[in-house]
Amino acid sequence: MRTDSKNGIYKRFAVMGGTFDPIHYGHLVTAEAVRDKFKLDKVLFMPTKNPPHKMHRPTSDVNHRYLMTVLATITNPYFEVSRLEIERSGMTYTVDTIRELRSIHGDDAEIYFITGADAILEILTWHNVDELLGMCRFVAATRPGFYGKDMEQKLTEIKSKYDKEIFSIEVPSLAISSTDIRDRILNNKTIRYLLPEAVEHYIRKSRLYLK
């Protein structure tokens, strides 16, 4: 492990926000690829409390999602799970999270915000997007079926409108999604090798996603 992250203060780190309902290898491979590419001190996994854009489906209890994220990241010394959003009261917005991280880690910290390509496509609808783009570097991870003309156009649009570069990173073709994993469980299909074994054990033990 690098030793330049003293006292829990990081100068180059990424934030990977998500519902993680459940966390899977798509998230983990992406986080590790970004960590390696930008030589980061840490990747902070940030389970969201009640994401405004996911109101149509009730998410699992935040404690379950938090614990699954801890189990999934335990073997990687560069990965850490943050309770920042979970513990904030009221609606949670990414911009508030980044602002808070900046006040903890300092104005000189380089903060990367990792999103999947699908999430980048929604970025312009996010709360305080101007401020957000000014505060951190965005990394869009591409997964099969999401990178195409739409995506390219959107990145160009963001770049010209906000004069802000969005990095993109290709991750090995991981078409894994939490939605698919939940469907598989409901339909009694295997989820083995789509997510860490400990997370599968946790899901079975807590009887998650059965209805």
By CB under 6 A, name the binding residues for ligand ATP.
Answer: 18-21, 26-27, 30, 115-116, 118-119, 141, 143, 171, 174, 176-179
In whole angstroms, how close is the CB of 195 to ligand ATP at the nearest point?
10
C-beta of residue 133 within 8 angstroms of C-beta of residue 166: no
Least distance in angstroms from the C-beta of 90 to ligand ATP: 21
Minimum CB–partner distance for residue 5 and ligand ATP (Å): 23
User: Which CB sits closer to ligand ATP, 41 or 120?
Assistant: 120
For the CB of residue 170, give the shortest distance to ligand ATP in the complex, in Å: 10
- Nearer residue to ligand ATP within complex by CB, 5 or 17: 17
Q: What b/e sequence results for 17-48 when a residue is b if at least 16 CB atoms lie within 10 Å of its CB, and e otherwise? A: bbbbbbbbbbbbbbbebbbeebebbbbbbbbb
What SS3 state is found at 55? coil
Query: Based on CB atoms, which residue is closest to ligand ATP, 73 or 115?
Result: 115
- Using the CB atoms, write b or e for 143-165: b if 16+ within 10 Å: beebbeeebeebbeebeeebebe
- The neighbour count for residue 91, using CB atoms within 10 Å, is 11
Question: Which residue number, 5 or 72, has a Cβ lying nearer to ligand ATP?
Answer: 72
